Amino acid sequence: MSDRVIAQRTPYVMEVEAGTYYWCACGLSKSQPYCDGSHSGTGIEPVEVEISEKKRLAWCGCKKTGNEPFCDGTHAKLPPE
């Protein structure tokens, strides 16, 4: 299993429509915060999320959240690069 890559040190805050989304958990996707299949071979799988209505969300960008796939503020506690 590979380590998760920090895609960015802040959340991806965006308005989303109702539907099914696949949050990138590995950090390698070029379509952040969503999965593009880049996890292949890492042992890390995307997280499927069903959103029932249009809403504003904060998707985790650091990939270290304790509330996958949403930001819980963990990025603020990461050591500097």
Q: Say if strands 12-16 and 55-59 run parallel, antiparallel, or are unpaired.
A: antiparallel
Domain containing residue 23: 12-70
Say how many domains are in the chain: 1
CA distance 75 to 33: 15
Residue 66 lies in a domain: yes
pTM of the model: 0.94
Residue 57 lies in a domain: yes
Mean pLDDT of the chain: 96
pLDDT band at 1 (very low <50, low <70, confident <90, very high): low
**What are 45's two structure tokens?**
């799988």
**What are 42's two structure tokens?**
């890492």
Residue 54 lies in a domain: yes
